Amino acid sequence: MRFLLRTLSLSYVRRHKAKTLLTLLGVVVGVATFSSIESAKGTLVKGIRSTVDRVAGKAQLQITMEGGVPEEVQEQVRSLPGIRATSPVIEQIVSTEKGELGSLMVIGIDLLGDREMRDYGFEGDDADLDDPLLFLAQPDSAIFTRQFAEKADLKIGGGIALKIPKGMKRVTTRGLLTPKGFSEAFGGNLMVMDVYAAQDLFGRGRRFDRLDVRLTEETSIAQGTATLEKALGPAYRVETPGKRGEQIEKIVANFIAGFNISSGFALAIGIFLIFNVFNVAVNRRRRDIGTLRALGATPRQVQLLFLSEALVIGIVGGLLGTLVGTTVSQAFLQIMGQTTETMYGVTSSGVVRLPPVIVLESMLLGVGTSLIGAWGPALTASRIPPTEAFAKGAFQARPPGRSVVRITAGVVALGSTILMALRPPFGGNSFIFTELLLGGVGIVLLVGPLSRLLLICLVPLVTRFAPVAGRLSGDALLGNARRTSGTIMAMALSLTFVLGLGGYMGSTKKALDRWMLDALTCDLFVRASANFNRPDFLFPGGLRDELLQLPGVKSVESFRATRPLYQGHQIQVTSIEISQLLERMKYDFTQGDKGLMLRGLTQEGKCVVSDNFSRRYKLGVGQQVELTAPGGKVRFTIAAVVRDYGSDQGTVLMDRTQFLRYWQDDRVDIYDVSVLPGANVAQVRDLIRAKLAGRYPALVSTRQEFIAEITKAIDAFYALTRVTLFLALLVAFLGIVTALLISVAERTREIGILKALGAFPSQLARSIILEALLLALVGLVLALPSGNLFAAFMEGPLAELFTGWIMPHFYPWEILVQLLIALPLISAFAAWVPARQAGRLKITESIEYE
Amino acid sequence: MSIKRSCGNNAIGIVTAALLSALCAAMAWGADARALLKESENRHRTKTQQYAGNLTVVNKDGKVRKKGWKSFRQGYAGDARNLIRFTDPPEVKGVGFLSISRSAGQNPDQWLYLPSMKRERRIATQDRDASFVGTDFNYEDMEEFDHEKYKVALQGEQTVEGYACYVIAATPRESGGQSVYEKKILYLRKDILYLLREDLYQKGDRQPSKLFTLSDLQNVDGHWAAKKWEMTNINKESKTTVVLKEIVFDKPQPAGRFTLQNLNREGGD
């Protein structure tokens, strides 16, 4: 086998370097996409978990509460039996004046008593706290990890400005920590400050983000939890750091899940690219195979030869792909981290370290993809009888057999996919996997016959406009059905992915745009936090009256959002002055109406739920939602169900009076300000800014600015998905180039004869460009229905499974137009090298070819 | 046989007598230790005390940090109330510390006031072993020593800095509140019954982890006062020295001085 590889395979590679390189590139791109997404994703999730674990230190339990844990709870908890120590914590992610340093996690802890909780000291080699009293006495005191200080060029006494809700705030380095244990959290991008200074800096009032608890040796976690839950009541969440990490991980699960689909598609497209290359290689080397068989090689040896070649390409491609993936994964992680921070308020920082498992998976995928792609062609090669192998051209011209069975099987598979999507027999990941597998099989089976049918229809049409080039390209495409269907398969899959995912993104964006136009109808939004999901600062409730007194202000509504757990999921509970809200906002009701909502919320103490909440928890008008308020469980009857895109886990909306009554917390996230008719919005904004200056952080945005900010956040959410779309197109582009190069090489003799008969190089070049255009066009035509189906699947069953939303379908006309413009250009570009190659072929050499 | 029994009886008798005398001696020593400590307390008890302190912390690398404070005390030992206000350097000026003794069995209430935050923070029992603002004293060291919270035993006599001293072992009583220390060895100067040294053993220590020495004794207004305190942390190889100046005894203190309101008052002492 080694001899065969060295002589036959290596000589083939030497003669077809470009094709081999392109095949390799296909594997590299597929594996790189997979490994970079997987390693970035893994690092993000691991980072989130590890940050929770490391920051928790020796804490066995953590107490949290929506809106923060009041200070006095610490004293209450300290006096309970079984409690060894408690320590308050405030956590905030900020950025610095030096953007290149990345996000910085600020941890506010009580340095007086935190040693019970976290392993560090401020003496010796581990850490250096210049003066503990000075540290406590000065609220700008900060301790950085040595790693971060080195990056930021910070020395003891040196300062750095942080971007915080109140604006830029300069902090002074008064200590350094060696990055180990606790200080390794958040990839070492960590700043420690006094918890009470953090309270002030981040507007937490007299509340902590959580209380870390350490139990006495004789107290078990279960006993400790029971004691705390009994003493604190249902409004407090008592959980182990591990459980809390899981919970945070759950929040970003939907975002992460989307990338599994991208990885899967990148690999599937890669498989078809390799399949195509090997398929053509088998055809090209039929004479070699015939010779081998005539010399006594067994069919198994022939099959093994091709599989060995695939194995080598898989190993090399896997290795290179893993390396490339590692280099781009850091950028992916940064994009992912920024998105999860903006959208969910959680993130992690650090350097992507490729875990051995992902290296192994990537290598296996590279090898597996190559072997799967080469398996069919290798089997075909092994079955070629020597007599047929020497009969030139007979095989290439033979269309693939048993079309009826294939088409029937394809229709059944695709039909089952659609039926299952309409009525899912089961849920979860197995449903998604089954759908994608069945859909993929259906498309694979149908693309070959359908593409042939389309080409048969298209070629005569094209020939009318370009008689010579059209006929030549048509013959080339129809003359080698296997190569053509393989290329179109890769193309169609790529375009299905692009149209489907792009269509889904477009539909989501349009739905959100419409909702924002209906929902965000006031003139000014006064916020304290730039982050939409993590309140960095909350306004006092009394500020509303001050804003109402400003000239030009018509009304002010106090919007407050909390994110409690409901049946294990983090939902959103929002409150606002409903009667005023309904005067300006248009709700899209799926159950109930405006009258029922107004009466229910303002007079009957009911709530409204979002359509995704209603679907996820199977609750509708008249049924009750049980929420946990500080005073205990409260049941709210549902007055109406409205379309709302505030939270992908569901939203419950209530009147502010109800929130104040049960939550006893008057703080406000956003003040929605409407101005009087004729009043100048810009002037009112200036008045608000002047009113709040020096007192509170205030981001005052106009309606347009606020909508633009949310749109920007949504765009950021899909930024990485767009990158995967581009990669999918790149793989498809490689497919076309490879197919055309093979086509030219295969027809060398034919091209030589054509030239001898008087064909111009330009005519030959045109035929190859036309071939590329036809491949792209057929791929696109086939991808139109499959892309639409894929988009519908994403917008419907998949979105419902993860979020409860069913997105209205909008056809991605923009993407289609973009493809219609870009594809001919890309195809023509892909054909450029093969066309030049064909034009340069010398007649004598070409005729002597083979 | 009878001789043997007789010898045996004698031996038992001797051992018993020795054990009894040892027990009686131990009881007598114990009683003496308590009496000595009571006597010491009676002799040195003052209604109030105030002084200005110069604090110097030298770490193992020789790095020196200096601070100035004013201290006010009312009461003594088990009924003491203490207020410390930092005066120097300017960055820490106004930082206050208030300690108020509570009834037996309870640790004192302690608060630290930070003017930049304009609020006090309570020192929890769990934090009693934390360093007092970066010095070698911990929050428990900042309490007045109250022998009633300890089981005490006289262990002998020893010369310290040229003075004959009683050596008394003090072990925290379980009913005396939580203590950072497992044992304290007190060295009480025989002639004036004034504490000259404490060897401080934390839990699990075979050797003292900290040494507290009082020196430069002077008689101020008829009361003995050590004008130099030194706390040496043997493990960390660091030392904190407090030099006392302007010592005044029995000066009436304002009624509200030892309250949280006063602690939180800007510029209040």
Top-confidence residue, A267 or A634: A634
| A183 is a domain residue | yes
Using the beta-carbon criterion (under 8 Å), do B92 and A86 form an inter-chain contact? no
Mean pLDDT calculated for residue range A382-389: 72
The residues on B that touch A, with CB distances below 8 Å, are 59, 65, 67, 86, 91-92, 95, 112, 114-117, 119, 121-127, 130-131, 133-134, 236
CA A343, CA A325: separation in Å to the nearest integer? Answer: 25
Same domain, A630 and A576: yes
Buried b (16+ CB within 10 A) or exposed e, A697-722: bbbbbbbeebbebbeebbeebbebbe
Q: What residues of chain B lie within 8 A of the CB of A196, using their CB?
A: 114, 117, 119, 121
Using the beta-carbon criterion (under 8 Å), do B121 and A110 form an inter-chain contact? yes
B114, B126, B130: residue with CB nearest A137: B114
* DSSP-based three-state secondary structure for A345: coil
Using the beta-carbon criterion (under 8 Å), do B91 and A132 form an inter-chain contact? no
Most confident listed range (A272-286, A833-847, B160-174) = B160-174
Q: What residues of chain B lie within 8 A of the CB of A84, using their CB?
A: 126
| Contact in structure between A259 and A37 (CB atoms under 8 Å) | yes
Residue of chain B whose alpha carbon sits nearest to that of A199:
B117
The residues on A that touch B, with CB distances below 8 Å, are 75, 78, 84-86, 110, 112-113, 115-116, 123, 129, 131-134, 136-139, 196-197, 200
Cα–Cα distances in angstroms (integers) from residue A333 to residues A256, A336, A789, in the given order: 11, 5, 30
Indicate if the pLDDT at residue A678 is higher than 50. yes
pLDDT digits (tens, 9 = 90+) for A730-768: 777 777 777 677 667 666 777 778 777 877 878 888 888
| A429 is a domain residue | no
pLDDT for the residue numbered A23: 74
* Least confident residue range of A59-68, A96-105, A525-534, B95-104: A525-534
pLDDT for the residue numbered A187: 73
- pLDDT more than 70, % of chain A: 86
CA B53, CA B41: separation in Å to the nearest integer? Answer: 23
Same domain, A92 and A180: yes
CA B257, CA B262: separation in Å to the nearest integer? Answer: 6
Same domain, A79 and A50: no
Using alpha carbons only, give the angle A413, A418, A419 rounded to the nearest 5 degrees. Answer: 95
Q: Which of A79, A109, A112 to mutate to test the interface with B (most CBs of B within 10 A)?
A: A112
Q: Are strands A572-576 and A651-655 parallel, antiparallel or unpaired?
A: parallel
Same domain, A295 and A356: yes
Domains, in order of start, for chain B: 43-263 (2.50.20.10)
Q: What residues of chain B lie within 8 A of the CB of A115, using their CB?
A: 130
In chain B the first and final C-alpha atoms are separated, in Å, by 82
Mean pLDDT calculated for residue range A473-501: 81
| A439 is a domain residue | no
A112, A137, A139: residue with CB nearest B92: A137
Amino acid letter, residue B44: H
| A778 is a domain residue | yes
CA A416, CA A427: separation in Å to the nearest integer? Answer: 16
pLDDT band at A291 (very low <50, low <70, confident <90, very high): confident
Amino acid letter, residue A131: D
Instruction: Judge residue A291's burial from the number of C-beta atoms within 10 Å of its C-beta, 0-12 exposed, 13-18 middle, 19 or more buried.
Output: middle
Using the beta-carbon criterion (under 8 Å), do A113 and B127 form an inter-chain contact? yes
Q: What residues of chain B lie within 8 A of the CB of A136, using their CB?
A: 95, 112, 114, 133
Contacts of residues A690-698 at CB distance under 8 Å and 24 or more positions apart, as own/partner, are: A691/A546, A691/A547, A691/A550, A692/A526, A692/A543, A696/A166, A696/A203, A696/A528, A696/A537, A696/A539, A696/A543, A697/A164, A697/A165, A697/A166, A697/A167, A697/A203, A697/A528, A697/A529, A697/A536, A697/A537, A698/A526, A698/A527, A698/A528
Residue of chain A whose alpha carbon sits nearest to that of B60:
A124
Nearest-CA distance from B124 to chain A in Å? Answer: 8
Residue of chain B whose alpha carbon sits nearest to that of A75:
B124
Q: Which of A80, A115, A125, A133 to mutate to test the interface with B (most CBs of B within 10 A)?
A: A133
Nearest-CA distance from A251 to chain B in Å? Answer: 35
| A337 is a domain residue | yes
Mean pLDDT, chain A, integer: 82
pLDDT for the residue numbered B151: 92
With CA atoms as reference, report the closest residue to B108 among B147, B127, B81.
B81
pLDDT for the residue numbered A800: 83
A11 sits in the region (left: phi over 0; alpha: psi -120 to 50; else beta) called: alpha
| Contact in structure between A94 and A214 (CB atoms under 8 Å) | no
CA A725, CA A262: separation in Å to the nearest integer? Answer: 8
CA A352, CA A46: separation in Å to the nearest integer? Answer: 10
Domain carrying residue A559: 538-696
Indicate if the pLDDT at residue A697 is higher than 80. no
DSSP type of residue A37 = H
Cα–Cα distances in angstroms (integers) from residue B264 to residues A840, B30, B83, B90, B140, in the given order: 91, 43, 12, 18, 22
CA A554, CA A292: separation in Å to the nearest integer? Answer: 89
pLDDT band at A592 (very low <50, low <70, confident <90, very high): very high
B65, B116, B121: residue with CB nearest A137: B116
| Contact in structure between A350 and A43 (CB atoms under 8 Å) | yes
Same domain, A75 and A104: yes
Same domain, A42 and A65: no
pLDDT for the residue numbered A273: 65
Same domain, A108 and A42: no
pLDDT for the residue numbered A234: 81
| Contact in structure between A538 and A528 (CB atoms under 8 Å) | yes
H or E, element range at B205: none
- pLDDT more than 90, % of chain B: 49
With CA atoms as reference, report the closest residue to A775 among A414, A465, A494.
A494
| Contact in structure between A600 and A589 (CB atoms under 8 Å) | no
Indicate if the pLDDT at residue A276 is higher than 80. no
Same domain, A340 and A276: yes
pLDDT digits (tens, 9 = 90+) for A74-129: 989 988 999 988 889 998 888 888 877 777 888 898 877 776 677 665 544 444 57
Indicate if the pLDDT at residue B248 is higher than 80. yes
Using the beta-carbon criterion (under 8 Å), do A132 and B134 form an inter-chain contact? yes
Using the beta-carbon criterion (under 8 Å), do A86 and B126 form an inter-chain contact? yes
pLDDT digits (tens, 9 = 90+) for B21-76: 444 444 444 448 999 999 999 999 999 999 999 999 998 888 898 999 999 999 88
Q: What residues of chain A lie within 8 A of the CB of B65, using their CB?
A: 131
pLDDT for the residue numbered B250: 92
Amino acid letter, residue B62: G
Using the beta-carbon criterion (under 8 Å), do B123 and A75 form an inter-chain contact? no
Residue of chain B whose alpha carbon sits nearest to that of A197:
B117
Using the beta-carbon criterion (under 8 Å), do B86 and A133 form an inter-chain contact? yes
Using alpha carbons only, give the angle A157, A158, A162 rounded to the nearest 5 degrees. Answer: 125
pLDDT for the residue numbered A284: 66
Neighbours of B111 (CB within 10 A): 18
Query: What DSSP line would sit under B49-106, residue for residue?
Result: EEEEEEEEEE-TT--EEEEEEEEEEES-GGG-EEEEEEEESGGGTT-EEEEE--STTS
Q: Phi/psi of residue A428, each to 5°?
A: 75, -165
Same domain, A759 and A656: no
Tokens found for residue A259: 């990338």
Last residue of a domain, one of A187, A216, A238: A238
Using alpha carbons only, give the angle B229, B231, B237 rounded to the nearest 5 degrees. Answer: 145
Cα–Cα distances in angstroms (integers) from residue A98 to residues A158, A159, A162, A163, in the given order: 14, 12, 9, 10
Buried b (16+ CB within 10 A) or exposed e, A624-638: ebebbbbeeebebeb
| A558 is a domain residue | yes
Last residue of a domain, one of A388, A412, A436: A388
Using the beta-carbon criterion (under 8 Å), do B122 and A75 form an inter-chain contact? yes
CA A670, CA A544: separation in Å to the nearest integer? Answer: 10
Q: What residues of chain A lie within 8 A of the CB of B130, using their CB?
A: 112-113, 115
Query: What DSSP line would sit under A270-284, residue for residue?
Result: HHHHHHHHHHHHHHH
Using the beta-carbon criterion (under 8 Å), do B236 and A134 form an inter-chain contact? no
Mean pLDDT calculated for residue range B154-170: 93
CA dihedral A210, A214, A219, A224 (to 10 degrees): 0
Same domain, A314 and A353: yes
Q: Phi/psi of residue B48, each to 5°?
A: -145, 165
Nearest-CA distance from B193 to chain A in Å? Answer: 35
Query: What residues contact residue A569 under an 8 Å CB cut-off, 6+ apart?
Result: A250, A616, A649, A650
Using the beta-carbon criterion (under 8 Å), do A132 and B115 form an inter-chain contact? no
| A528 is a domain residue | no
- pLDDT more than 90, % of chain A: 20
pLDDT digits (tens, 9 = 90+) for A207-225: 899 999 999 888 999 999 9
| A663 is a domain residue | yes
Q: What residues of chain B lie within 8 A of the CB of A110, using their CB?
A: 121
| Contact in structure between A451 and A444 (CB atoms under 8 Å) | no
Amino acid letter, residue A327: T
Instruction: Calculate the CA A340 to chain-centre distance.
Output: 9
Using the beta-carbon criterion (under 8 Å), do A132 and B133 form an inter-chain contact? yes
A116, A123, A132: residue with CB nearest B236: A123
H or E, element range at B132: none
Tell me the helices (H) and strands (E) count for chain A, helix number first.
Answer: 32, 22
- pLDDT more than 70, % of chain B: 86
Number of domains in chain A: 4
Last residue of a domain, one of A219, A238, A257: A238
Mean pLDDT calculated for residue range B190-195: 93
Residue located via tokens 């990055």: A179
Using the beta-carbon criterion (under 8 Å), do B91 and A134 form an inter-chain contact? yes
* DSSP-based three-state secondary structure for A547: helix
pLDDT for the residue numbered A350: 65
Same domain, A716 and A804: yes
Nearest-CA distance from A198 to chain B in Å? Answer: 10
Using the beta-carbon criterion (under 8 Å), do B114 and A112 form an inter-chain contact? no
pLDDT band at B6 (very low <50, low <70, confident <90, very high): very low
| Contact in structure between A608 and A597 (CB atoms under 8 Å) | yes
Mean pLDDT calculated for residue range A800-819: 85
Q: What residues of chain B lie within 8 A of the CB of A137, using their CB?
A: 86, 91-92, 95, 114-116
Mean pLDDT, chain B, integer: 84
Mean pLDDT calculated for residue range A666-684: 92
Q: Which value does ipTM take for this structure?
A: 0.79
Residue of chain B whose alpha carbon sits nearest to that of A114:
B127
* DSSP-based three-state secondary structure for B215: strand
CA A614, CA A279: separation in Å to the nearest integer? Answer: 51
In chain A the first and final C-alpha atoms are separated, in Å, by 25
Nearest-CA distance from A155 to chain B in Å? Answer: 17
Q: How many CA atoms lie within 13 A of A638 on its CB side?
A: 24
pLDDT digits (tens, 9 = 90+) for A335-380: 777 777 766 666 666 677 777 888 888 888 888 877 887 787 778 7
Top-confidence residue, B6 or A325: A325
Tokens found for residue B19: 């054990």
Same domain, A280 and A187: no
